[in-house]
A and B are shown apart, each in its own frame.
Chain A
């Protein structure tokens, strides 16, 4: 296979799927545990590896079929890659950090920081506006979620205590 064929995103995607589905299919025994046996009858009517075997087998065949057909009809062309990969990388890094600090820093602080950074990054230059949404939005959402909807969001003990006192 020549490199421009495989560099085309869809073919690369299919190739990756082909490799991992074949690996999964081959090592099925190690990846799927055995069910317990109850009074000589299996605890499950069907073996837990049947469905994964069918799915991964079909996936491998389909990826192979795609690659063969794509190879046959292949016309080299210069396709444009993803635009703005750099900005995308920054954006996803911000989100990853948000995801990592949401629990340790609590919802309000981590959201405030993320909102401020993202708002600035997407072109907001009004400091007042950034400060307003970065502070008010997380507090508003936190209060409505935990007090009105009675669901749980992570928050530092100190802040939760302060909020309880302030409202009380």
Chain B
């Protein structure tokens, strides 16, 4: 037992040591010559915070500098984004954002920055597909049952979401738009409380990421009605596109952005580091343990997706709001 604890202590030391050594690494004339700040526009303990802890604990190995997390929550993510937008484009201040904050927010709020012009994507770190779920004893056996019920009586089906224009709200709005139905949208402070509301019967439907709902599904407490993405995640559950809800919907893309005008060689360095990270065994293992996938998409490729998102979200917002 004692040997075991020594081993764990050794691993611990090696881990912190690596982070430390990297952060203090020998001085170089080229980028990065000081620690890089990763701004998270959300609060502590959220999924972005946890994901970033994994990234920043491994990436120093490839950048030879530490990456420091700076939490700047406020105004639904606008605050942190604004700070990075107005910071110097030298690659020392980066933003860890997601597609809804990045591309949808500009269409619903009057922002102090221009998302498309002020930021360039560095890397999409990973993404999570969403699933529409109901309580196991719900009368809705299929997605169509739910649609029928809300067609019969608009707003009779209540759907718990995690905040306006957030990860659960947007897919719901897209369903409402594509299928021409009205759901009663009830806000909760995050995906966890929303799921709990559905389990306790306060709300009829909610959504969740597969990594989160896994245990509930195995225990037979919930039923999945539909999942996002082009392919089925569960063999007997249709995708949203099969159910008549088209487009890039229900994906949370976690993406690292840099201020526009960041020099090309800096971007290249960062992209190289994220590419190397992608292959790192420890990184993969840790992300896997968090229940997240590892699916890197580099700047240019994601930029194309971003532009498409911007158009799609604008259409969505214009179509459903007045």
Contact = CB atoms under 8 A, between A and B. Distances in A.
A–B direct contact (CB < 8 Å): yes
Interface in B1-42: 20, 23-27, 33-35, 37
Main secondary structure of the interface of B (DSSP, over half): mixed
Given A146-B68, A152-B68, A168-B27, A38 B320 contact: yes
A37 B321 contact: yes
A150 B38 CA distance: 11
Contacts of A45: 186
B155 A152 contact: no
B321 A168 contact: no
Contact of A147 (B23, B173, B321): B23
B182 A164 contact: no
Contact of B155 (A37, A41, A161, A164): A41
Contacts, number: 53
A79 B99 CA distance: 60
Contacts of A147: 20, 23
Interface string B163-181: 0100000000100100000
A37 B322 contact: yes
A36 B173 CA distance: 14
Interface size class of A (residues with CB under 8 A): 20 to 34
Given A164-B34, A164-B35, A39 B182 contact: yes
Interface size class of B (residues with CB under 8 A): 20 to 34
Contacts of A40: 182, 322
A43 interface: yes
A37 B164 CA distance: 12
A40 B319 CA distance: 12
B3 to A, nearest CB: 29
A50 interface: no
A160 interface: yes
A37 B322 CA distance: 5
Nearest to B322: A37
A152 B27 contact: no
Contact of B26 (A36, A38, A152, A168): A168
Contacts of B269: none
Interface in B268-322: 320-322
Interface of B: 20, 23-27, 33-35, 37, 56, 66, 68-70, 108, 155, 164, 173, 176, 182, 184-186, 320-322
Interface of A: 36-41, 43, 45, 146-147, 150-152, 157, 160-161, 164-165, 167-168
Closest 10 CB pairs between A and B? A152-B70, A168-B24, A37-B322, A167-B24, A165-B27, A36-B321, A164-B34, A160-B34, A38-B321, A161-B34
Given A37-B322, A41-B185, A168-B27, 20 more contacts: A36-B322, A37-B321, A38-B173, A39-B182, A40-B182, A40-B322, A41-B155, A41-B184, A45-B186, A146-B35, A147-B20, A150-B66, A150-B68, A150-B69, A152-B37, A152-B69, A152-B70, A161-B33, A164-B33, A168-B26
12 contacts: A36-B321, A36-B322, A37-B321, A37-B322, A41-B155, A43-B164, A150-B68, A152-B37, A152-B68, A157-B34, A165-B27, A168-B26
